[in-house]
Amino acid sequence: MEKLIRSTLCYIENNGCYLMLFRDRKKDDINEGKWIGIGGKIEDGETPEECNTREVLEETGLILRSSHFHGIIQFRSDEYTDEDMYLYSSDDFEPADENAALEFSLSGMYIPPECEEGRLEWIRKTEIYRLPLWEGDKAFLKQLTEGRDKISMTISYIGDSCIVTDMEE
């Protein structure tokens, strides 16, 4: 049995939208065909916050000035390796690229670069549920879009079906 995966996921917000990633470019990607937030696996010796900052920069070209930690989402599955995902959000960022930073400071708009893992796109928070998402992601996204500060839950998958247990009730 593989060991537990530890990862981060960040929802970056700007102008009523989240920066989402449509996963369609990685080989053997369990997220293929799904829209997800920005994140990845925590490397050895790295804190969840360091991972979150690194992954956001690598995937989006954005430097997080600050982010908010919401809690841990525990994924359990009969098909995939179990995962503990550290959930973050941020609306406090700046583009690493000087030209993009200037444009962002003037217009408030940021056009994300190409990403190796898929297509980055700003999606209105009200439109998110129309996208192909993991069923379990909808549970924590609902709490996030409603402004809930602390979000902790276990999402247990049996095949594509899931059961969500909210840990903060």
How does pLDDT run across 118-155, given as a tens digit for each residue? Answer: 999 999 999 999 999 999 999 999 999 999 999 999 99
User: Which structure tokens are listed for 25?
Assistant: 């470019």
Entry pTM? 0.92
The architecture CATH gives domain 5-166:
Alpha-Beta Complex (3.90)
Q: Which residue reads 């009969």 in tokens? A: 78
Q: Which residue reads 């696996």 in tokens? A: 41
Confidence of residue 159 (pLDDT cuts 50, 70, 90): confident
Q: Where do the structural domains in the chain lie, given as residue ranges?
A: 5-166
Q: Which among 87, 65, 66, 76 is positioned nearest to 145, based on CA atoms?
A: 87
pLDDT in tens, 35-66: 999 999 999 999 999 999 999 999 999 999 99
Question: What does each C-alpha distance from 94 to 13, 35, 67, 90, 99 come to in angstroms?
Answer: 12, 23, 12, 11, 11
